[in-house]
Amino acid sequence: MTLRSLQIFIWTTLTCYRGVTMSKKPSRLGVVGAACALGLVATLLTGCGSDSGSGDGVTKLTFAASTFGDPGRGPKLTAWLDEFNKSQDKVQVSAAAVPYPTFGQTVLTQMGSGKGPDLVRFDMPEFESAADAGLIAPLDKLIDVSKYELIKQPDQFMVHDGTRHGIIFEASNYAMFYNADLIPTPPTTYEQFASTAKSLTKGDVYGLAFRQTEAEEAGVWQDIFNYVYGFGGAWSDGKNLTINSPENLKGLQAYKDLYDANVIPRGADAATFRRMFAEGKVGMELNNGGYVTATRGQNPNLKFSVAPIPFPVRKQGAILAPIVINEASPAKEEAATFIRWALEPQNQVKLQEILGASSVATTTERSAESLKETPFLTVFDELTESSLPQIVLGFEAKTPDIRKVVVQNVIAALQGKADLKSALDRAQQQATELVG
């Protein structure tokens, strides 16, 4: 085990214990806290194999992805896996769904202990952390990428110092989803965005929804990323952190103003408010292209559309989700067989159709049928050049740690425990000390 792997294990142990020590039931702290920590220690000591196995000459692999739990896309992705399994006689892949809020911590803990799934669909912060820790197998000798027409803009982030660690599974730009029955003409400025949210909020209908609880740390980071970059800010200049810059303060103040205006269902998690959007109870949300399919899966009759996020600067986050091979897997070649299959043109087209408005690793053409059904697909596609992965440039591997600090301080400001400027100043100091 590498030093970084051990650091990840210790971090997840402490995170788990810290979550317990904040409980309102102090009589259970010792028992539950010890069980939490010992459970992770047990994972560390179980050995150095992955979760794959073989029998009857067939190698069985596991593929972990939070998207397998999506109500709209999950079943279709599972069916896509079944197509692979039917095409093979020596390799079989099964889906492992881990809930999104705990996905990164759960899988990094498993991989840090020398176990875990053979194939993983990571979001960028955890991908960078795992690559830095040596938990991901290099792909250069396993997959000849020259055979495929990879999309250069997102693919550049799959390579570290000349070594390829991932292949894009999904690239999904953020845009503004809106209920076209409630909003005939979408807002084109932040001021219109805010006033529309306020005017729609009445009774059991909210004008807007976004994540705002520490339990959804990764999701809050994705949401506030759009406000920071959409108001001309950035988490770093590539060499130094800029968390408390005036531009960041302006963007996050806009986020806080909407929270304070009570135009969102406070306390609702993403699963809840996305269901509310599908039911016509939320007017707008900033979301990535992957949720077109999921939204239709929840309500095929919902009349909704998509427009660019109406913030001052046309710059927004993108979900870049690489597929990687666990360094601990004893079946790396078999895992690479699946990735090579996924990269075949016909399978890329099928994957893109499943993912909805997202892009995949290679250049594909959207069919006339899909454009007729979903005319706003072009909105997502046109945002690719102005979208950024949700990592801290120059501090990619430290993004999960920086994210935790930033989100904790921003939520403290939302809850009135600190003014926003002081919260960002504190986040700047804490994060700077953290990255050393």
Here the CATH number for the domain that contains residue 297 is 3.40.190.10
Question: Are residues 304 and 179 in contact, defined by beta-carbon separation less than 8 angstroms?
Answer: yes
pLDDT confidence tier of residue 142, bands split at 50, 70 and 90: very high
Q: What is the predicted pLDDT for the residue at 45?
A: 30
Q: What is the predicted pLDDT for the residue at 172?
A: 93
> Average pLDDT of 109-124?
96
339 alpha carbon, distance to own chain's centre: 20
Q: Is residue 129 part of a domain?
A: yes
Q: What is the predicted pLDDT for the residue at 102?
A: 86
Encoded tokens for 303: 């009349």
Encoded tokens for 38: 């010992």
pLDDT confidence tier of residue 55, bands split at 50, 70 and 90: low
pTM of the predicted model as reported, rounded to 2 decimal places: 0.77
Partnered with residue 173 across adjacent β-strands are: 318
Residues 370 and 421 in one domain: no
Q: What is the predicted pLDDT for the residue at 50?
A: 56
Residues 297 and 430 in one domain: yes
Partnered with residue 113 across adjacent β-strands are: none
Picking from 380, 340, 371, the residue whose alpha carbon sits closest to that of residue 154 is 380
Residue carrying the six token digits 């179980």: 46
Q: What is the predicted pLDDT for the residue at 316?
A: 96
Residues 264 and 397 in one domain: yes
Look at residue 189 and give its three-state secondary structure. Answer: coil
Mean pLDDT computed over every residue of the chain: 88
Residues 245 and 329 in one domain: no
Residues 162 and 130 in one domain: yes
Tally of domains within the chain: 2
Tell whether the model's pLDDT for residue 289 goes beyond 70: yes
pLDDT confidence tier of residue 56, bands split at 50, 70 and 90: confident
Q: What is the predicted pLDDT for the residue at 294?
A: 85
pLDDT confidence tier of residue 153, bands split at 50, 70 and 90: confident
Q: What is the predicted pLDDT for the residue at 362?
A: 95
- 345-355 and 332-342 helices cross at what angle (nearest 10)? 80
Q: Which domain holds residue 412?
A: 181-316+393-435
Residues 123 and 222 in one domain: no
Q: What is the predicted pLDDT for the residue at 53?
A: 66
Residue carrying the six token digits 């799959």: 158
Residues 211 and 351 in one domain: no
* Dist. CA 54–CA 40, nearest whole Å: 26
Domain boundary among 372, 388, 404: 388
Tell whether the model's pLDDT for residue 34 goes beyond 50: no
Q: What is the predicted pLDDT for the residue at 436?
A: 86
pLDDT in tens, 362-421: 989 888 998 999 999 999 989 988 999 999 999 999 999 999 999 999 999 999 999 999
Parallel, antiparallel, or unpaired for β 167-179 and 282-288? antiparallel
Tell whether the model's pLDDT for residue 18 goes beyond 90: no
Q: Is residue 189 part of a domain?
A: yes
Q: Is residue 11 part of a domain?
A: no
Q: Is residue 4 part of a domain?
A: no
pLDDT in tens, 199-211: 999 999 999 999 9
Encoded tokens for 278: 């599908």
Picking from 433, 361, 310, 368, the residue whose alpha carbon sits closest to that of residue 156 is 361
